[in-house]
Structure 1
């Protein structure tokens, strides 16, 4: 019998196998199980498209039937290897249907307890429940399967409502819906809207009494109270709305609505506010409860919610002036809102109803006065008059500009002492998406040092770390890694591959001698130098190891101290080691020459070494430092890009890879995509190629940084904080990069630009007039959108840099307002009102005075748009010179 069953299973004859199983006893079935398990192991090794795959459904059914324990059967049925070739639920119910009812109930519960990823068919679980008569399971797997089955309208002609009415377990399973965590993610797309939807059906069943109304409303409210997942909120809020709670039901749950008013989801908070607003207008909640609710809602950032609440408070105050003592202190919570319109609306309510607070309620008046201290400066003057305060009571404090501490260069830590520690750092760098220059340099130096001293020990320590690197595999063609490393060194990878003999020496020699095979681009002058050192280090690791690297910086800025370089050359001379050409040239570029006394002393020591490198270093230290090359602007469509002239003051006898550094550069010719578009990590090292010349780097990055604003590319502004922290002149290129970053599409890029802006200001290197002028031009050309710029400068201002931001906006606004003449036909770009609002707040807080060209014309335009209102506010502030 077992042989016949096995043949039927192999052939995929499910009907024959089911017939054989019907005639077997439990002991006979257990005897068949080992052979079925062996067949399962065999099939696991077969290709997916093999004809033997047809055996799986029959094997699935036979194995389930031959297990005599419910636990073993459940494990077999839910096995991952048979998940995509299962027997049909009807066949499984047939082969299992002769078991005892308790056994079938146990199996149903075990399958329902499986995670939903097990993909146990709902029809199987429901069939087992029906055969056993056991209580219906209420687990996530069973309930979600039930929901999907009920919603399969394309399989039957009836509706969701009809199927729910016919199902005897509807009440129990609906109750279970509210208990499953994050059930909304499964139900959101299934529930839908309209008369044939789940929402409509559940509301109808509640109306008919099949579902308990009080329990349904309570369950919806409870789920909203404890849920913050967006999909949960959408589903249960829609259901609650469809149930249409009565006035009495809403009044019974006032405490719940008060709690929901502070819900993270604005849709839930808005619904709770609407319910409480209706109750307030109907006199169903106390003024104290309304004040409690207002304190929560007015603290929220959603302007629509806050304004609606202020409208509600205004209606209640007009109807019952005696409520002012309790409600106006709540209105004062809006005085600290970031939106000036909200502040003004709240102040108007106070001005209109402050008389309702009699002399018997001094505490309420004091609370309103305390809140008035948060108003903007212009509104604070009105508050003083409305509240009858002494001007000294709300006298502003002198503005104190808050900027981050200016970053200072730090010394690089030495290379790791042990090969184990070095291997750990290599492993961290290999998996890191953000390679810090200092860490990279000390690790590269460590590889060179330990290769020179203890190569075998180092290779053994590195093998576990690099085991998953694709070029470590022995089954790949050897030439594939050579092709890979001939194009790019890929950071430390080429040095590691050379150390572990995974790339040919001839490949390393060609790369070392001739550089990259790709066409040159605007970045290649910097990347070629960076890559040349890596290819040279890899080649020397294989052929003539160096004792250490000469170019490892002393400081995180990329500079190398002259005395330290002299000491390294002296040690090379003592050891009889040959310096690497690229390594030594990079060291000459990095050596610090700003202190003439230190440079002169070090030059004497270098010349005394009597070596070619010592003489070259001495001449370098005594020569004049390079000056920032001249730059000029060119316009490309909506972009502004830069061209650089020749860079003088470079070391003599430059290797091939270094010669492009001094050539003129045109950002106008930069390609949209180049080999460096996908390797943004490398950019962190370019500033250390020519330390002190960040304009040379920034000019080569202008075009791709501009893409974050013009083309909505993500991540291109991540380099801006590094530019701001680097040494050297912060000129036209640096400021233009920051200007583009402030108009970036994505928030993380705008934050990078804000960080760069604040660092430049903290270091005293920010040219506010230049940056403001750039922003004015870029907004006029459409490269930067005013709304994005407003968000960026507001973020910068709220850190405490109000004077800095005003100095930038004061320079940018004339160009932005030039086309908006009084009652002119030129429409304002979206976000100009928000930009003026930030400018007005900064001017109020800093006591700025003076005139902004074209501002008066915009302020005199007819209407009460946000643009005109904020222009008037800014003009009034500048005329008054009010400081907050």
Structure 2
């Protein structure tokens, strides 16, 4: 009877529904939808789509109204859509929920009259939306329940399910959930483990172990899932739950034996803690005879290649036990695997492997002994005597007849000349098409800016016609408001050419008083202001070209070329832009004969700019010479040097002094550079790294750049990633490589993350290759940073080991040797010094550094250029402290490595220590 009344009733008009939606009356929407027939809902849907589009254009001043309307609009649209795909897209849309949870009960009631297949389709489509599936778990679970469809297994849905389970008693919830058997294995397959497995890890582990014992989940499937997850790798923190669960499952010997290949894979490649567990399992299997000698040899070849000494030491112990139990066949299988450790970076591991081979060498045949002796050639000078004792005449002759040591350094980088600006409009437009999307190519942006200015000077109308098709698709071209403050340098000039940026906009921006929260914002402002000046010149008085366009890839300008540009300006009667000329001065190379020659030519120009250039070229003072101090974290004020509110140790800071010429003769946009502190302040948001265009502001002033980069490099020594990645770019720049450069480099060598330390090592090697490394200064800085706690010894040792492994043993020793005196504060070694001494000993053994002398000569090493570096009385004291360490009893790493270093220094007087000076590429700076 009710159905008949519905068929005969006149359908309501959609106007009431639309009014309720516009007024944000979400609770009224379901009733109004029920009154609409299919035709009315279709008609309303078109209006709802139009309203959704309208909402996107509302400003933030209407945010509260937009939120209310969007909530009602979401429900109304869900009820009007008839297709499952369209309904799921509407319900899952971010712009309709404003970060709120879905009204699950209301939507489920609204969709209750749809068929099960349709509801299941919507459920799986919502589960497939990675951005929203986790927060929409309640809605998806409700649709699964009412439709009876299979449960989704996407990552988002599984994370949402895990959170829902953890909201109550985990074990009881899992027991009552009908989907437990399907979804539990999926916990191990998501890209990242659900967060609840971390913060309620023990509850989850206990519940899963209990369910496996009860048969509610398949135990073998659970074990396989744990093992597969551990084999897959990932972040170290993501392994803890699965490894702990695997241990709580207490695998039987049969279960362990069935997964032998998995343990081998984990031991070879998994994270350290996982590899350690796998190693323990393999040891049990080897002890019970369930791991063959061939399998043990196979896994050992990989484990002995790992850097974790604990794992390598344990593997050598395992191999030793297997060799004692086995016979000649076992020795023939395992000794070549042991020899893999001959090339390990740690000398203790090399020594252990050599002793192990020596104990069992008699059990193998002549062919195997010869092969092992050939491998022993990689052991190096420190183990020559022991290797000779083990192998005797089988040791290759070349092991003893190594020629003079030759330092290996990378070629010193040559400055690459920048190509001229695009000569034709099509070429310019093609360059702009890529650069307007991403302006990371600093030199490309500079070329394009120069090209825009040149073509505007030739034919502004033609340039505008060529750019109009390009800008039609850019977001800012169709906006009615002033968008200039959101535009990059290229967009500003392009916007001026096409009429989007006006002279009024540019005048206001250039007259505005600069407000800088940090040095990085000041550097950004220099770039922006120069682009605004170029855009204004395009509109009012086009200049023939820009003066500050770089000559080389570093951003530097050739002094002779700048004189030629000023000469062309004088010939054409053009007036240089104040900001453009100021940037050209900061970029011009001020060292070498070319600068002196250009200074004379500039003075003869007879123009104000020529006189200023001549004076600038003859005064090579840094823009912001720095003063050095040690600061406690609690002393940093609101304009301090560190991330606000972080608990940091004491560290070295550089505070640049004011540069009066910058403040007196440069435009306002540059004044802050002459008095900028090295710190960043509480409002700085630039701790992620150093932008390339900042270096291009001062490409010939490394000392000032280093002072500004130091806080970011210091952040890399704490926990932030990327703070040292710009060090190679810094050392490639021009100007003096003085105290600020070396201090910043020293800080980078102690960075927490490996990729930052690698960047610092690259910078160290480049500086050495250019003959600009002051090893004594760098070593002294490193020692002070270690004492302060800014640089941790193990990180410094890792960086030094990496540098040495490239073939720069003499360079690395010259730095470490200079650091040693400062690493004994109060006569006692700093904690962790043993690892540093090990690297130093390895370097001396490899490069044959001259022995330390008596009296005040101190430690003698070689710099990257092959020049000797003599220490002071303090250096003698440093080696006296090392001698005292070596005289101690015991076998700790500190004592054993001190003995090794002393022995290596003593042995250099016996063996040939000729040093081949690396051939350096001519330094054009």
Q: How does 1:72-471 map to 2 (within 5 A)?
A: 88=104, 92=108, 96=112, 104-105=116-117, 107-108=119-120, 111-112=123-124, 114-117=126-129, 119=133, 136-137=150-151, 139-140=153-154, 144=158, 147-148=161-162, 151=165, 154=168, 159-166=169-176, 170-174=180-184, 181-182=189-190, 185-186=193-194, 189=197, 192-194=200-202, 197-222=203-228, 224-225=230-231, 236-320=242-326, 323-355=330-362, 357-358=363-364, 361-389=365-393, 392-393=396-397, 394-395=399-400, 397-398=402-403, 399-426=405-432, 428-429=434-435, 432=438, 434-436=440-442, 438-462=443-467
SS at the partner of 1:373? helix
CA distance in 2 between partners of 1:337 and 1:384 (Å): 19
Q: After superposition, what is the alpha-carbon deviation per residue over 1:354-375, rounded to whole angstroms, capped at 9, x for unaligned?
A: 34x24xx234333433332332
Partner residue in 2 for 1:823: none
Please tell me whether the aligned partners of residues 707 and 713 of structure 1 are also in contact (alpha carbons under 8 angstroms). no
Of 683, 692, 696, the match for 2:694 = 683
Cα distance change of structure 1 residues 20 and 587 upon mapping to structure 2, 3 Å threshold: closer
Whole-Å separation in 2 of the counterparts to 1:60 and 1:470: 28
Secondary structure at 1:388 match in 2? helix
Deviation at 1:785, TM superposition (A): 3.5
Matches of 1:734 and 1:132 in 2, distance apart?
Answer: 67
* Structure-1 separation of matches of 2:555 and 2:96: 59
2:867 equivalent in structure 1: none
For 1:841, the equivalent position in structure 2 comes to 842
SS of the residue aligned with 2:268? coil
Residues 706-757 of structure 1 show CA distances to partners (whole Å, capped at 9, x for unaligned) of: 6447776665545533442234443334333323332344544433332222
The C-alpha deviation readout for 1:524-564, integer Å capped at 9, x for no partner, is 99999878755654443333221123454444466655765
SS at match of 2:306: coil
Residue of structure 2 equivalent to 1:867: 894
d(CA) in 1 for partners of 2:709 and 2:17? 71
Equivalent positions of 1:353-752 (< 5 A) are: 353-355=360-362, 357-358=363-364, 361-389=365-393, 392-393=396-397, 394-395=399-400, 397-398=402-403, 399-426=405-432, 428-429=434-435, 432=438, 434-436=440-442, 438-462=443-467, 475-476=480-481, 491=489, 495-496=493-494, 498-499=496-497, 505=503, 517-518=514-515, 536-556=533-553, 564=561, 567-569=564-566, 571-580=568-577, 583=580, 590=588, 594-595=592-593, 599=597, 612-613=606-607, 617=610, 625-626=618-619, 634-637=628-631, 638-639=651-652, 641=654, 655-657=665-667, 670=678, 672-673=680-681, 678=686, 680-688=691-699, 691=700, 694-695=702-703, 697-698=704-705, 700-701=707-708, 704=711, 707-708=714-715, 717-752=724-759
TM-score by length of 1: 0.78
Contact kept? 2:727, 2:745, Cα under 8 Å: yes
- CA RMSD in angstroms, aligned pairs only: 5.1
Deviations 1:646-698 (A, max 9, x none): 899x9xx994449999x99899x65543999858544312334xx4x645x35
- Structure 2 distance, partners of 1:95, 1:168, is 23
After superposition, the Cα gap between the structure-2 partners of 1:714 and 1:56, relative to the gap in structure 1 and judged at 3 Å, is closer
Aligned partners of 1:524 and 1:229: how far apart in 2? 34
> Is the 8 Å Cα contact of residues 266 and 302 (structure 1) preserved in structure 2?
yes
State which structure, 1 or 2, has the greater radius of gyration over its C-alpha atoms. Answer: 1
Residues 98-139 of structure 1, C-alpha deviation per residue, up to 9 Å, x if partnerless?
A: x7xxx52564256235434364966776677677766x3464
1:184–1:235 contact (8 Å) kept in structure 2:
no
For these two proteins, the number of residue pairs brought into alignment is 830
CA distance in 1, matches of 2:751, 2:797: 11
How far off is 1:879 after superposition?
0.9
Aligned counterparts of 2:899 and 2:522: Cα–Cα separation in 1: 51
How far apart in 2 are the matches of 1:744 and 1:830? 18
Higher mean alpha-carbon deviation, 560-569 vs 743-752, is at 560-569
Shift of 1:843: 0.9
1:758 to 748, 765, 783: 765
Q: Is the 8 A contact 1:834 1:867 kept in 2?
A: yes
Displacement after TM superposition at 1:457 (Å): 2.9
Secondary structure of the corresponding residue to residue 406 of structure 2: coil
Task: Quote how far apart the aligned CAs of 1:384 are.
Answer: 2.3
Counterpart contact for 2:33–2:76, Cα < 8 Å: no
Distance 1:354 1:90 in 2: 79
For the residue of structure 1 that corresponds to 2:629, the secondary structure is strand
CA offset digits 1:822-851 (Å, max 9, x no partner): xxxx4x433322221211111111112312
Offset of residue 458 of structure 1 = 2.6
**Contact 1:411 1:554 (C-alpha < 8 Å) held by counterparts:** yes
Which deviates the most, 701-710 or 12-21? 12-21
Unaligned runs of 5+ in 1: 22-27, 821-825
Question: 1:403, 1:801 within 8 Å by CA — same for their partners in 2?
Answer: yes
Aligned mates of 1:130, 1:470 — CA distance in 2: 44
CA contact (8 A) 1:797 1:842 kept: yes
Indicate the SS of the match to 1:639. Answer: strand
Which residue matches 1:806? Answer: 813
Cα deviation digits, residues 607-654 of structure 1 (max 9, x gap): 5xxx633x9859977999445579896434342647779899x9xx99
Per-residue deviation, residues 753-798 of structure 1 (Å, max 9, x unmatched): 3222211211222222232233334434545433332232222222
Distance 1:878 1:603 in 2: 53
The aligned runs of 1:810-829 (5 Å cut-off) are: 810-817=817-824, 819-820=826-827, 826=828, 828-829=829-830
Sort the Cα spacing of 1:222 and 1:584 in 2 relative to 1 into closer, same or farther, 3 A. closer
Q: 2:641 matched to which residue of 1? A: none
Query: Does the 8 Å contact 2:88/2:125 carry over to 1?
Result: no
CA contact (8 A) 1:787 1:835 kept: yes
8 A Cα contact 1:160 1:198, kept in partner: yes
CA distance in 1, matches of 2:583, 2:610: 12
- Once residues 643 and 214 of structure 1 are traced to their aligned partners in structure 2, the CA distance between those partners, rounded to angstroms, is 65
Contact 2:660 2:674 in 1 (8 A): no
Contact kept in structure 1, 2:718 and 2:751, CA below 8 Å: no
Q: Which runs of 5+ in 2 are unaligned?
A: 1-8, 56-63, 632-650, 853-858, 860-878, 914-925
Report the equivalent of 1:25.
none
Q: What are the within-5 Å matches in structure 2 for residues 37-76 of structure 1? A: 37=45, 40-41=48-49, 44=52, 59=76, 63=80, 67=82
Q: Which residue of structure 1 lines up, in the alignment, with residue 863 of structure 2?
A: none
| C-alpha contact (below 8 Å) 1:295/1:333 kept by paired residues | yes
Q: How does 1:764-775 map to 2 (within 5 A)?
A: 764-775=771-782
User: Would the alpha carbon gap of residues 520 and 94 (structure 1) be closer, same or farther in structure 2, given more than 3 Å must change?
Assistant: closer
**Take 1:426 and 1:750, find their aligned partners in 2: how far apart are those partners?**
36
State the Cα distance separating 1:441 from its structure 2 match. Answer: 3.6
Q: Give the alignment's TM-score, normalised by structure 2.
A: 0.75
Distance in 1 (alpha carbons) for counterparts of 2:806 and 2:223: 45
**Residue number in structure 2 paired with 1:877:** 904
SS at match of 2:681: coil
